[in-house]
């Protein structure tokens, strides 16, 4: 059984990761990889980790830091000048006040960035170091002739890739022990692929693995993600190449966080969603958008069994026609997560019947991390004084799942 450790705060989780990486938890690791859904607090955790590595003088100024990080705050260091007046000279602005750009003026980053960027997109860029801007251009074919379109605004996905490649170039400098980044002892990477398709997600994961496994790399790494494909690629790519710890982080609401070590068993989002829906039913706080979640579960189940329609997942249940109509109605149109409306009592009962019927027809295994009664192991953590953080409750992922078909109750199929 994999160990589950409870923590009261993200500060304690950050300290736990540091202990993994410095060897307080034997044996010492070089990398921590963990999965957590959006809303769990991944970005806040990255900032807690970064903050724990800072030292301050008597005036509160930072005198030392040890973490180079990539998260939502990193992306905020880049902003667009859209040239609203002339609509011709669009550039991406850099914030030169950040330590992230310490080597920007002394080192020619263009070549390093380009070596990564060209793996993903066919774009050209030019960094103006004097005014801290980046201009992009693209080649197009017009009437059989190649033309260059200058100062274009690139897509959100392309922008994410550029910022990511900028970060990888700086990581390369830190790994190569460049003096401008000699302070980097840890690299913390939080969800680098939020705007990318699956092909690029795989490419990013492979490039990241190649960089981290560079011979002679002495920098410790923490990677968090909510993207299951990205996690699984990294999980397999790192394998035994790097001494690593792999976790799932689960929010327990006001009761803190549960961190579970993983093994070679895959994890599935739909089990976490089912756990959430069960809790929703128990609390009777059922909103119309919960039908979206339930429909998504049925779609995954239909795919697993090779059904061409979701109604086959509830075929044979009492009132199955009514159930199918309700799923269609409440998971479309105005009934969405963007317009949350609590259901009336009749619709709540209908939702409960559909969920109960579905769970009765298919036997799912719900892992221990979702058991609210698990006993905390004694953990001697360094607990730092920190402001109270409001926890956004969201269900994490599950370790394993067995789906039992109603026709053959003795045979279990593992997703």
In a domain, 59, yes or no: no
Closest CA to 41 of 75, 14, 69, 15: 14
**Does 214 reside within a domain?**
no
CA atoms lying within 13 Å on the CB side of residue 408? 5
pTM given for the model: 0.67
Structure confidence at residue 52 (pLDDT): 95
Mean pLDDT of 314-318: 83
Indicate if 156 and 280 belong to the same structural domain.
Answer: no
pLDDT band at 98; cut points 50, 70, 90: confident
CA angle 223, 225, 230 (to 5 degrees): 95
Residue of higher predicted confidence among 208 and 321: 208
pLDDT of amino acid 360: 84
Confidence of residue 56 (pLDDT cuts 50, 70, 90): very high
User: Token pair for residue 103?
Assistant: 């080597």
Residue 196 is predicted with a pLDDT of 67
Residue 375 within any structural domain of the chain: yes
Percentage of residues of the chain with pLDDT beyond 70: 80
Is residue 343 domain-resident? yes
Angle at which helix 269-283 crosses helix 345-361, to 10 degrees, equals 140
Rg (CA), the chain: 24
* 277, part of any domain: yes
CA angle 323, 324, 325 (to 5 degrees): 90
Q: Could you tell me which of 189, 182, 174, 188 has the C-alpha nearest to residue 109?
A: 174
Residue 286 to residue 342: CA distance in whole angstroms: 6
Show which of 164, 181, 204 is a domain's final residue: 164
- Condensed to tens digits (0 to 9), the pLDDT of residues 150-181 reads 999 999 889 989 999 999 999 999 999 999 89
Return the biggest CA–CA distance within the chain.
72
Lowest mean pLDDT among 10-14, 74-78, 317-321: 317-321
Based on the structure, what is the number of domains in the chain? 2
SS3 assignment for the chain: CCCEEEECCHHHHHHHHHHHHHCCCCCCCCEEEEECCCCCCHHHHHHHHHHHCCEECCCCCEEECCEEEECHHHHCCEEEECCCCCCCCCEEEECCCCHHHCCCCCCCCHHHHHHHHCCCCCCEEEEECCCCEEEEEEEEEECCEEEEECCCCCCHHHHHHHHHHHHHHHHHHHHCCCHHHCCCCEEEEECCCCCCCHHHHHHHHHHHHHHHCCCCCCCEEEEEECCHHHHHHHHHHHCCCCCEEEEEEEECHHHCEEEEECCCCCCEHHHHHHHHHHHHHHHCCCECCHHHHHHHHHHHHHHHHCCCCHHHHCCCCCCHHHHHHHHHHHCCCCCCCCCCCECCHHHHHHHHHHHHHHHHHCECCCCHHHCCCCCCCCCCCCCCCCCCCCCCCCCCCECCCEEECCCCCCCEEEC
Range scoring the smallest mean pLDDT among 35-44, 184-193, 314-323, 363-372: 363-372
C-alpha 398/C-alpha 403 separation (Å) is 14
Q: Which residue has the tokens 């409870």?
A: 6
What's the pLDDT at 331?
62
My answer on whether 160 and 274 are in the same domain is: no
**CA nearest to 231, candidates 213, 249, 257:** 249
pLDDT tens per residue, range 261-313? 886 554 556 676 787 788 888 888 888 778 877 887 888 788 777 887 888 88
Q: Residue 171, CB half-sphere, CA atoms under 13 Å: how many?
A: 26
pLDDT for residue 14 is more than 80 = yes
- Of 366 and 173, the structure prediction assigns the larger pLDDT to 173
**What are 287's strand-pairing partners?**
342
- Decide if 195 is inside a domain: no
Q: Is residue 128 part of a domain?
A: yes
| 160 shares its domain with 273 | no
Whether residue 274 lies inside any domain: the answer is: yes
Q: State which of 164, 188, 207 marks the end of a domain.
A: 164
Question: Does 389 score more than 50 pLDDT?
Answer: no
Q: Are residues 288 and 160 in the same domain?
A: no
Domain limit, last residue, from 111, 131, 164: 164
CA dist 54 → 42, 60, 61, 65, 384 (Å): 19, 11, 10, 4, 13
Domain holding 280, by residue range, is 269-383+394-414
How high is the pLDDT of residue 200?
Answer: 77
């Amino acid at each position: 059984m994999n160990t589950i450790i409870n923590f009261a705060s993200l500060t304690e989780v950050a300290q736990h990761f540091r202990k993994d990486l410095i060897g307080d938890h034997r044996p010492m690791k070089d990398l921590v990889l963990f999965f957590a859904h959006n809303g769990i607090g991944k970005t806040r955790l990255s900032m807690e980790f970064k903050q724990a590595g800072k030292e301050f003088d008597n005036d509160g100024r930072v005198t030392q830091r040890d973490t180079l990080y990539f998260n939502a705050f990193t992306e905020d260091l880049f902003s667009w000048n859209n040239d609203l007046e002339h609509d011709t000279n669009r550039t991406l602005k850099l914030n030169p006040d950040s330590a992230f750009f310490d080597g920007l003026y002394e080192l020619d980053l263009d070549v390093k960035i380009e070596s990564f960027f060209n793996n993903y997109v066919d774009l050209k860029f030019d960094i103006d170091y004097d005014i801290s801007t980046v201009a992009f251009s693209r080649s197009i074919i017009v009437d059989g002739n190649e033309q260059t379109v200058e100062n274009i605004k690139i897509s959100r996905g392309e922008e994410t890739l550029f910022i990511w490649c900028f970060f990888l170039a700086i990581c390369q400098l830190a790994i190569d022990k460049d003096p401008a980044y000699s302070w980097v002892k840890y690299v913390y990477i939080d969800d680098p692929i939020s705007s990318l398709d699956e092909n690029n997600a795989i490419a990013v994961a492979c490039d990241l693995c190649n960089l981290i496994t560079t011979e002679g790399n002495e920098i410790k790494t923490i990677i968090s993600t909510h993207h299951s494909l990205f996690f699984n690629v990294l999980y397999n790519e790192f394998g035994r190449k790097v001494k690593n710890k792999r976790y799932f982080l689960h929010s327990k609401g006001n009761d803190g966080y549960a961190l579970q070590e993983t093994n070679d068993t895959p994890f599935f989002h739909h089990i976490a969603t089912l756990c959430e829906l069960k809790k929703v039913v128990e609390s009777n706080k059922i909103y119309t958008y919960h039908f979206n979640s339930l429909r998504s579960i049925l779609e995954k189940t239909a795919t697993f069994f090779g059904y061409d329609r979701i109604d086959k997942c509830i075929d044979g249940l009492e009132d199955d026609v009514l159930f199918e109509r309700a799923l269609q109605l409440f998971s479309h149109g105005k009934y969405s997560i963007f317009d949350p409306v609590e259901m009336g009592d009749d619709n709540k009962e209908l939702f409960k019947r559909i969920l109960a019927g579905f769970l009765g027809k298919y036997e799912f295994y719900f892992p221990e991390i979702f058991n609210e009664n698990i006993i905390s192991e004694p953990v001697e953590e360094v607990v730092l004084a920190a402001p109270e953080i409001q926890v956004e409750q969201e269900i994490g992922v599950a370790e394993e799942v067995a789906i039992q078909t109603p026709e053959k109750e003795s045979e279990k199929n593992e997703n």
